[in-house]
Structure formats: C-alpha cells, structure tokens
Amino acid sequence: MSTPTSTPTARQPLAGLEVIELSNMITCSLAAMTMAAQGATVIKVEPPQRGDQMRPLGTQKNGVSGFFHNCNRGKRSLAIDLKSEAGVEAVKKLAARADVLLHNYRPGVMDRIGLGSDVLRKINPRLVYVAVSGFGKQGPMADKPAFDHVIQGMSGLTNLQSPDDNGFDHIRTFICDKVTSYTVCQAATAALVARATTGEGQHIDISMLHACLAFMWPDGMMHKTLKDDDRFEMSPGADYFQTLNFSDGAVAVAALTDSHWQAVLPLIGYPELLETPLFSSIASRMSNMKEVGKVLKNPRLDIGVEKAVAVLKAADVPCAPCLHQNEIEANEQIQAIDALETYVTKAMGKLTVPRPPVQFDGATTSQAKPSPLLGEHSRQVLSELGWDNSAIDQLVSMGNVVITPLP
C-alpha cells in the first residue's frame, strides 16, 4: 500500500489512498475522478500515441476537451506504452504501492500483456483490482467492443425511450457509461471497507451490460417482474414521465394523488375529466397512463410556464420548469445549492463544472482542479518509481513515453 500523504477525514474519506486508472472513455475515468474528489490520489496511465480517446472529443483547448476534463479533474497522467517492457514494469511498480486499480480493457487484454489480476495481486495482496467489461467475461459477445449506444440498446433502455411499445430511441447522454462509473466507484470503496477487516484486496468484475440492467430494472421492468398469472397489470414506469407543453416552454410534472390531478386537469383545460372513471383513482390512472398521457400532451389552455408552475406549486404538485441547457447556470435553485463552480486553469482557461454532489460532513466541496495534459506527469511518476532522467529521456526518444509540458 502507498504511504499516505494525508489521513482520511469526514470530508476527504479516501485521503491517503492511491488509485491507478488504465482506461479509455468514461467508465473508469469518471469513477477515478469521483474517488479523487473524495481525497484519493489518482494516476491515469494512458497510451503515449494519442492518450485517452476522450481527449480530442468535443469543444477543446490545447488538445484537451471539455468532455475529457469533466471526467479527469485532479489526476496525474503517465503516458507510457503498455506493450513495452518499461510500461509493464511501471504498472507493476505502481500496483505494488496502490490501493485500487481500475481498467476497462476487453477481457483477456491485461492478462496477455502481463498485468492481469493474479499477477498484480500477487505483487500486492492488498490491491483492489476492478476489471470493467462491456458484455462480461462469458458469452458470444464477451470479446466485442462496447460503447454506451450499444449497451443502451441491449439493456432495453432504447425501447423505454420510445412512445411506441415496439419502437426504439436513445437517451441522448452517455447514461450507461456513467451508471457503470458509479457502480465501479461504489464497488471499489466497498472492497476497501472489506479490506479494513480482512487485510486482503480482491478482484472485482463489472460489466456495463449487467450494471445497466440493474439500473434500468426497478422501474423500467416493474411491469415485467411479477410472473404469476394473478398479478394486477399496471402501466410500465416509462409511461409516467410527462411534460406539460406550452408555447413558451414546458413544465415537468409528477402528478400522483387525487389532489394533484384536481389542480392539473383544470390548469390545462379539462376540469370535466375529474369525474370520469379514468381519472377517478390512482389505480385507474396508473393502469392507463398512455390514455392519461394523451390528455397531458394536448392542453386546451396555454397559460405559459410561469403561471403553470405557480398554480402547481400552490397545489403542492411536484413540478419544475424544463430548462434549456443555456439556462442551467443562471437558474436560481441551482445557484442556491452552489452546484457549479467556475475557475481558471493554465491549459484550458476559464471553466465551469459541477461541484462534487456529495456533501460530506454537510459541507459543500470543490474539485476546481486541472485535468492533465497527455503525459504531463510522466517524468515525475517514473522518477518516483526509480527511473533516472537519462533513462526517462531514452524512453521518450524510443516513443515509449510522452511528456507534454504545460503551455
């Protein structure tokens, strides 16, 4: 285990722990950044040729995109070729002192290059080794590439997004990557708790497919969970998501109780429906949400977002205006909880990002840190591992290591 540079506190519970991240894209990157926000030291090991595939994706400055920054704040970058002897040796030395290692290479890749779980946990029995795959280690798709779009399709999420039972559409964010990231982070910290008692690390396997099935299932498959013939059928959870659309925008509303509907139906011009069988009870509404949705999607009155929200709030109906992305930073409620922070880094200039959402000890925290340039810390990390400057320079000249200085 690494020698702690600091000790855990209520606000930094992972202080003193070291995380080694070998990954492309979001799953392990976001998990490691979450652990960094909670005090862990993170070393990101990247290919020297181009680094993490996220680096050039989207709006960028000095070769670092906002996408990459949002998953990699506060890390050090070691850019080294894992197919080289030096790369394998470096990771072994890092693993010898680390607490957690995360990777999302396809099953078998780490074993083939000599960095499998058995090898590294023999070097360091206290290591928590987390292997993330797309489809798992077994089955006909185990060795296939997996990205968020693909896992959305196979987990049933694309079907949930379609108003047509037989239709399909994507959630337009990398939800499966991010769900897996938080699953990875939770699993790693749970293993650290176990290690505190057992003194031993462990190997953990997590597939994106399984993580997203588990995430989708509670509500997305609520209507497919009970199998006996005497079950009482109700609408699937996806049918409960409704907006009230007006000429100046939309209101997200979650009307459940009878009193909620006594406010909603007159608001949109359908007071007479309050006495109909469809809207007379929770059971009737929740068993026929497609019919209920047709009413909500076609308001007779267009009173506008501001007035609608005022009426709904007065009736204690859960609701909020649907914000355009351009409105998020200026929103009064988002500002009130201090959810975002703006700061300046040398490489990327002025940035706005979310603060860590968990308020340990009840306190707002910050992660206003730079994300690393490719190999920005290669010399520093390799020096810590025993390479002198001349040896590092030789690795750079051979193309096995990249060092990118700050601009």
- Looking at the fold, whether 270 and 310 belong to one and the same domain comes out as yes
Of 93 and 49, more confident: 93
pLDDT, one tens digit per residue, over 308-323 is 999 999 999 999 999 9
Residue 348's SS3 state is coil
- Looking at the fold, whether 322 and 352 belong to one and the same domain comes out as no
Structural domains counted in the chain: 2
Give mean pLDDT, residues 195-203: 96
Token readout for 30 is 């976001």
Please give the residue range of the domain that contains residue 285: 241-327
- For residue 246, the domain's CATH number is 3.30.1540.10
pLDDT, one tens digit per residue, over 204-249 is 999 999 999 999 998 888 888 888 888 878 777 777 788 999 999 9
- Looking at the fold, whether 104 and 199 belong to one and the same domain comes out as yes
Residues 285, 213: Cα–Cα separation, whole Å? 27
pLDDT, one tens digit per residue, over 325-344 is 999 999 999 999 999 999 99
What's the pLDDT band for 290 if we cut at 50, 70, 90? confident
Residues 283, 279: Cα–Cα separation, whole Å? 9
pLDDT at res. 42: 98
- Looking at the fold, whether 89 and 133 belong to one and the same domain comes out as yes
User: Quick check: 262 pLDDT over 70?
Assistant: yes
Burial of residue 139, with CB atoms counted within 10 A of its CB: 0-12 exposed, 13-18 middle, 19 or more buried:
exposed
User: Quick check: 1 pLDDT over 60?
Assistant: no
Token readout for 130 is 């987390």
**Rounded percentage of the chain residues whose pLDDT exceeds 70:** 99
- For residue 197, the domain's CATH number is 3.40.50.10540
pLDDT, one tens digit per residue, over 117-175 is 999 999 999 999 999 999 999 999 888 888 889 998 989 888 888 877 788 888 899 99
- Looking at the fold, whether 259 and 284 belong to one and the same domain comes out as yes
| Domain termination site, one of 300, 327, 354 | 327
pLDDT at res. 3: 39
pLDDT at res. 219: 85
Give mean pLDDT, residues 97-105: 97
Does this model's pTM top 0.75? My answer is yes
Kindly state whether residue 152 falls inside one of the protein's structural domains.
yes
In degrees rounded to 5, what are phi and psi of residue 190? -65, -40
- Looking at the fold, whether 158 and 47 belong to one and the same domain comes out as yes
The residues, any chain, with a CB within 8 Å of residue 269's CB and separated by 6 or more, are: 299, 300, 301
- Looking at the fold, whether 197 and 251 belong to one and the same domain comes out as no
Residues 310, 315: Cα–Cα separation, whole Å? 9
